[in-house]
């Protein structure tokens, strides 16, 4: 039988006596990363506040190892669990270094006097999140992204076994987002750190998580690996997406397609067409495109944005039927945009389409 480090059994969470979400079941092995996803107001923060004792549980039990956290003292809990929620920390005239150092309180005794080991832990925690240069700055006078990194340093220097984070990357730029995720992976590798966090960036969630919990405002809809969660059509359902789309395979979203009879035919493939598809969408021009192999980088974007896509099975020769259909489409369009400079030997039909468009005296443009 698997040995779980973090377990939530039959949790009921909510405010006052009103349950918001019931029957939450989570089990994580030591060193696993769990991400909560779901729409605004779905209950992610409520779950995080409940499993960290910031909000009283309405039912159920949370275990760290064998211990029920309801029975653990505040100090005992904070020696095991670091928490970074979205509530602003109230600090009066504290430097960033002093804020990070409060992460050592579980170890410093009631007067909060730092030993050399504590000071070293503070310095070592500030380094990887790049806040050492902010150490003497007033914590209330730094940017949102800087504040988020200082709070991460505070959690790291607490040397926890499990870290709970509510939207830890929401203010971080791309470099710091990647740095942050690398730090989590590093801490998991070196110290078997277990992580529970909420993220709005689905592509990050898909990359970094071992498990994903999907919350929808009234229940936990799914709990599983990214592979189990990112299945075709599910994200659009979870977030009730009506305008635009999300493609699970490429983990990317697109704006709403332009409906109507195609005015332009785009010859693309090998990822060359995506910018042109998006430009046509911005300009409100309905278009058709092909012939695309179904494993082409262009394919999901074409499916999301084009009025018509002529696709063909990956690793199979392009069929005569697809070629005939594409020519028919070209006949009906005023313009043809060709995004390719060369065609591969296995797609001579796309070269043929380009030659056909020229022979039909269509207005030809190159993709940009």
Ligand X SMILES: Nc1ncnc2c1ncn2[C@@H]1O[C@H](COP(=O)(O)OP(=O)(O)OP(=O)(O)O)[C@@H](O)[C@H]1O
Q: Which stretch binds ligand X (CB under 6 A): 36-44, 132-140, 295-303, 319-327?
A: 36-44
C-alpha dihedral (73, 74, 79, 83), degrees to nearest 10: 140
Stretch that binds ligand X, among 1-9, 37-45, 239-247, 301-309 (CB under 6 A): 37-45
- The answer to whether 224 contacts ligand X (rule: CB under 6 A) is no
Sequence length of the chain is 368
**Token couple for 206:** 């898909």
Distance CA 99, CA 66 (A): 32
Backbone angles phi, psi at 278, to 5 degrees: -70, -35
Cα first-last separation, the chain: 57
Least distance from ligand X to the Cβ atom of residue 85, Å:
10
Cβ at position 18, least distance to ligand X in Å: 8
Among 6, 8, 24, 44, binds ligand X (CB under 6 A): 44
Q: Which is nearer to ligand X, 46 or 276 (CB)?
A: 46
**How many of the other CB atoms lie within 10 Å of CB of 286?**
19
Decide whether 44 or 340 has the Cβ nearer to ligand X.
Answer: 44
Interface with ligand X includes 359 (CB under 6 A)?
A: no
| Residue 169 lies near ligand X (rule: CB under 6 A) | no
Cβ nearer to ligand X, comparing 40 with 240: 40
Give the interface segment with ligand X, choosing from 42-50, 115-123, 295-303, 350-358 (CB under 6 A): 42-50
Nearest CB to ligand X, comparing residues 114 and 253: 253
Which residue number, 37 or 280, has a Cβ lying nearer to ligand X?
37
Q: How far apart are CA 132 and CA 96, in angstroms?
A: 9
Say whether residue 40 binds ligand X (CB under 6 A).
yes
Among 35, 45, 272, 312, binds ligand X (CB under 6 A): 45
Q: Closest approach of Cβ 201 to ligand X, in Å?
A: 12
Three-state DSSP state, 181: helix
Q: At what angle do helices 348-359 and 320-332 cross, to 10 degrees?
A: 30
Contact between 218 and ligand X by CB under 6 A: the answer reads no
Using alpha carbons only, what angle is made at residue 199 by residues 196 and 202, rounded to the nearest 5 degrees? 120
Considering only residues 35, 46, 281, 312, which one is a binding residue for ligand X as defined by CB under 6 A? 46
Residue 43 in the binding site for ligand X (CB under 6 A): yes
Q: Give 47 or 156: the residue with its C-beta nearer to ligand X.
A: 47
Burial of residue 145 (CB within 10 Å: 0-12, 13-18, 19+) is middle
Residue 28's contacts (CB-CB under 8 Å, 6 or more residues apart) are: 4, 5, 6, 7, 34, 194, 196, 210, 211
Q: How many whole angstroms separate alpha carbon 65 and alpha carbon 319?
A: 58
Would you count residue 367 as binding ligand X (CB under 6 A)?
Answer: no
Q: Which is nearer to ligand X, 31 or 39 (CB)?
A: 39
Element (DSSP H or E) covering residue 304: helix 298-305
Nearer to ligand X, 42 or 183 (CB): 42
**Shortest Cβ distance from residue 335 to ligand X (Å)?**
43
Which residues contact ligand X (rule: CB under 6 A)? Answer: 15, 20, 38, 40-46
């Amino acid at each position: 039988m698997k040995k779980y480090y973090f377990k939530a059994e039959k949790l009921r969470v909510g405010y006052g006596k009103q349950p918001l979400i019931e029957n939450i079941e989570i089990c994580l092995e030591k060193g696993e990363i769990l991400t909560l996803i779901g729409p605004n107001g779905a209950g992610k923060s409520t779950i995080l506040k409940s499993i960290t004792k910031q909000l009283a549980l309405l039912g159920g039990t949370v275990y760290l190892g064998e211990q029920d956290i309801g029975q653990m003292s505040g100090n005992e809990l904070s020696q095991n669990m670091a928490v970074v929620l979205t509530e602003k920390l109230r600090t009066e005239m504290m430097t960033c270094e002093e804020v990070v150092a409060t992460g050592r309180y579980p170890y410093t005794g009631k007067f909060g006097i730092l030993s050399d080991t504590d000071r070293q832990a503070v310095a070592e925690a500030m380094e990887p999140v790049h806040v050492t240069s902010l150490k003497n700055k007033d914590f209330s006078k730094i940017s949102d992204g800087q504040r988020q990194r200082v709070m991460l340093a505070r959690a790291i220097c607490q040397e926890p076994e499990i870290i709970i984070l509510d939207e830890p990357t929401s203010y971080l730029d791309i470099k710091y987002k990647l740095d942050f995720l690398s730090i989590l992976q590093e801490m998991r590798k070196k110290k078997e750190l277990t992580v529970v966090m909420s993220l709005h960036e689905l592509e990050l969630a898909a990359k970094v998580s071992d498990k994903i919990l999907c919350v929808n405002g009234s229940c936990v809809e799914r709990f599983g690996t990214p592979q189990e969660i990112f299945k075709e059509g599910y994200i659009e359902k979870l977030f009730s997406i009506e305008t635009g789309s999300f493609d699970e395979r490429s983990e990317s979203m697109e704006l709403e397609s332009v409906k109507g009879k195609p005015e332009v035919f785009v010859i693309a493939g090998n990822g060359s067409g995506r910018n042109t598809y998006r430009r046509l969408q911005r300009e409100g021009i309905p278009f058709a495109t092909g012939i695309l192999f179904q494993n082409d980088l262009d394919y999901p974007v074409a499916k999301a944005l084009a009025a018509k896509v002529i696709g063909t099975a990956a690793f199979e020769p392009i069929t005569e039927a697809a070629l005939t259909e594409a020519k028919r489409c070209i006949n009906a369009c005023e313009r043809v945009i060709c995004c390719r400079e060369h065609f591969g030997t296995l797609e001579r039909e796309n070269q043929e389409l380009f030659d056909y468009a020229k022979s039909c005296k269509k207005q030809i443009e190159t993709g940009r």
